[in-house]
Amino acid sequence: MADEESQELSDKQKKEIAKWFLVNSPAGEIQYVAKDVRSILMDEDVYNMAVSEAFPLYNKAHLIFLEMPNRSGEVIVTSFGELSVNEYLDPRTAQVATVDHIKQACTVVRPATDEELPSVYIEDFRCALDAEVIKYVGETYPKGVCSVYCVNGKDVEGPGSNFELAVVISAARNSPQNFCNGTWRSIWNVGFKDDPQMIEVTGKIQVGAHYFEEGNVQLDAEHECMDSTIFQHPEDCAIAIANIIRHHETEYMASLEVSYSKLPDTTFKDLRRKLPVTRTLFPWHNTLQISLTRDITKELGIGK
């Protein structure tokens, strides 16, 4: 038994452990985690295997967006636009960007082929929805990007068939110099049903935040919702769908703010240790006014 416990991990086990830490890095921090993982592993082969598998998964999960080298816009790294391991479609500009996942950079772009783009009929709906979502994101997210993809039925030439679009919204505010990073990611699958003349909208919202000044506080929240509207002319459909997205995202953001305001009386008081090791009661009545760096140290007498 002792011999088994003392056995050194195999390269595969080391790679999987390193990959787990990389994939689960907080928003905007995988490069910092990779640097630490590299120094711990001290094995370039294992490190290279781990990052080659972890970075594409992380980039797609976090919907990172990269500026294209010709300055024509930004491409979102998402499975909806993934054409190959490192090629991603930007439907708005009809271009395909080659992405270096580990450097998190777009290296080159090329025009998309006709086979990679939806039919003219589908493009009318996609473009109309894209225009409305651009307006919404511009009003709501100071550092946000969006894109609309055809994920099903891109060869449909006219009425009589079903098809599906996906709206992807990604916003990030990374400020490591101030010890905080955060992202907002939402994906809206929009199914156009020709027979009942209905549009079904399914949304998934993810919010991630990390505050790490002399501490480690993370938020990882998810929310799913459903809605529907009537199948109409492309412009009318676009307005209705954008309004649905606006309604649900605004409602969810408001619910998060309500949760934050109740933290002192709910979550904080449910902490396992209510009497710190200093034997000093935590000032629950004043939690909203306490700084994680200065005031808690003063109130609890830490570091003296």
Does the pLDDT of residue 200 top 50, yes or no?
yes
32 and 81 belong to one structural domain: no
pLDDT digit string, tens, across residues 118-156: 999 999 999 999 999 999 999 999 889 999 999 999 999
Does the pLDDT of residue 71 top 50, yes or no?
yes
Report CA-CA distances (Å) from 29 to 170, 182, 205, 211.
16, 10, 20, 12
71 and 53 belong to one structural domain: no
pLDDT digit string, tens, across residues 14-40: 999 999 999 999 988 999 999 999 999
Find the CATH number of the domain harbouring 106: 3.30.1140.60
82 and 55 belong to one structural domain: no
Closest C-alpha to 182, from 192, 190, 171: 171
Domain count for the chain, please give it: 4
24 and 50 belong to one structural domain: yes
254 and 174 belong to one structural domain: yes
150 and 99 belong to one structural domain: no
278 and 292 belong to one structural domain: yes
Does the pLDDT of residue 264 top 80, yes or no?
no
Does the pLDDT of residue 111 top 80, yes or no?
yes
- For the chain, the average pLDDT equals 88
88 and 165 belong to one structural domain: no
Backbone angles phi, psi at 242, to 5 degrees: -60, -35
Average pLDDT value for residue range 248-273:
76
129 and 257 belong to one structural domain: yes
Percentage, residues of the chain above pLDDT 90: 69
84 and 53 belong to one structural domain: no
Local confidence band at 211 (pLDDT 50, 70, 90 cut-offs): confident
Q: How many whole angstroms separate alpha carbon 78 and alpha carbon 245?
A: 19
Q: Domain of 172?
A: 120-261
Q: What local confidence, expressed as pLDDT, does residue 296 receive? A: 45
7 and 127 belong to one structural domain: no
166 and 217 belong to one structural domain: yes
CB 125 within 8 Å of CB 238: yes
Average pLDDT value for residue range 39-51:
95
Residue 73, phi-psi category: left (phi > 0), alpha (psi -120 to 50), beta (remainder):
left
Burial (CB < 10 A; 0-12, 13-18, 19+), residue 35, is exposed
Give CB contacts under 8 A, 24+ apart, made by 198-201: 198/228, 198/229, 198/230, 198/231, 199/228, 199/229, 199/230, 199/231, 199/237, 199/240, 199/241, 200/226, 200/227, 200/228, 201/226, 201/227, 201/228, 201/229, 201/241, 201/244, 201/245
The separation between CA 12 and the C-alpha centre of its own chain, rounded to angstroms, equals 28
